[in-house]
Structure 1
Amino acid sequence: MCDHCGNTEEISDANATPIRELDFERMVRQQFNQSETEETRVSSCPNCGAVVEFDPTAHAAECPFCATPVVADTGPHRHIKPAGVAPFEITESDARDAMNNWLGKLWFAPSGLQDYARKGRRLSGIYVPYWTYDADTRTAYSGLRGDTYYETRRVMVDGESRQRKVAKTRWRPKSGRVARAFDDILVSATRSLPQRYTTDLAPWELDKLSPYAPGFLAGFRSEAYTIPLDEAFKTARAIMDRRITRDIKFDIGGDKQRIQSAKTDISDITFKHVLLPVWIAAYKYRGKSFRFVVNGQTGKVRGERPWSILKIAIAVIFALGVAAAIGYFSAEAQ
Structure 2
Amino acid sequence: MTRTPPPPPVETHRFACAQCGADYRFDPVAGLLRCDHCGHTRAMPRDDAAALPAIREMDFRAALDARLPEQEIEETRVATCPNCGGQVELGADTHAAECPFCATPVVTDTGLHRHIKPRGLVPFALDERAARQAMTDWLGRLWFAPNGLRDYARKGRKMNGIYVPYWTFDADTASRYTGQRGVAYYETRTVMRDGKQVTQQVRKVRWSPASGRVARFFDDVLVLASRALPKRFTDGLEPWDLSALTPYRPDFLAGFRAEGYTVPLEDGYAEATDKMNRVIRRDVRFDIGGDEQRIHSIDTTVRDVTFKHILLPVWTAAYKYRGASYRFVINGQTGRVQGERPWSVWKLALAALAAALLAGAVGYIIAQNQ
Q: TM-score higher than 0.5 here?
A: yes
List alignment gaps of at least 5 residues for structure 2: 1-32
Q: Is 1:307–2:343 an aligned residue pair?
A: yes
Pair 1:113-2:149 in alignment: yes
Q: What is the identity, as a one-letter code, of the residue corresponding to 1:284?
A: K
Alignment-derived partner of residue 179 in structure 2: 143
What amino acid is the match of 1:4? H
* Aligned position for 1:174: 210
Q: Report how far residue 329 of structure 1 moved.
A: 4.2
Alpha-carbon distance in 1 for matches of 2:209, 2:227:
44
Q: Which residue of 2 aligns with 1:296?
A: 332
Q: Does 1:11 align with 2:45?
A: yes
Write the distance in 2 (CA, Å) between the matches of 1:88 and 1:21: 23
TM-score, normalised to structure 2's length? 0.87
- 1:181 counterpart SS class: strand
Q: Secondary structure of the equivalent of 2:343?
A: coil
Aligned equivalent of 2:66, options 15, 30, 50: 30
Question: Equivalent residue for 2:219?
Answer: 183
Alignment of 1:1-334 (within 5 A): 1=33, 2-6=35-39, 7-14=41-48, 15-72=51-108, 74-334=110-370
**Would you say the 8 A contact 2:73–2:115 is kept in 1?**
yes
Partners of 2:44 and 2:251 within 8 A in 1? no
Provide, for residues 140-198 of structure 1, a one-character-per-residue CA deviation record: whole Å limited to 9, x for no partner: 11111111112222222332223332221111101111111100000100000111111
Instruction: State percent identity of aligned pairs.
Output: 59
Task: Provide, for residues 286-322 of structure 1, a one-character-per-residue CA deviation record: whole Å limited to 9, x for no partner.
Answer: 2222111111111111111011122211211222123
Q: 2:174 is matched by which residue type in structure 1?
A: R
TM-score w.r.t. length of structure 1: 0.96
CA deviation after TM superposition for structure 1 residue 24, in Å: 0.6
- Runs of 4+ in structure 1 off by over 3 angstroms are 72-75, 328-334
Between 1 and 2, higher relative CO (CA 8 Å, sep ≥ 6) is seen in: 1
SS at match of 1:326: helix
SS of structure 2 residue aligned to 1:233: helix
Deviations along 1:237-285, whole A, 9 cap, x unmatched?
0110011001111111111110111111111000000000011111122
Question: Match of 1:157, as an amino acid?
Answer: R
- Distance in 2 of aligned mates of 1:199 and 1:229: 19
Corresponding residue pairs, total: 334
Distance 1:312 1:103 in 2: 16
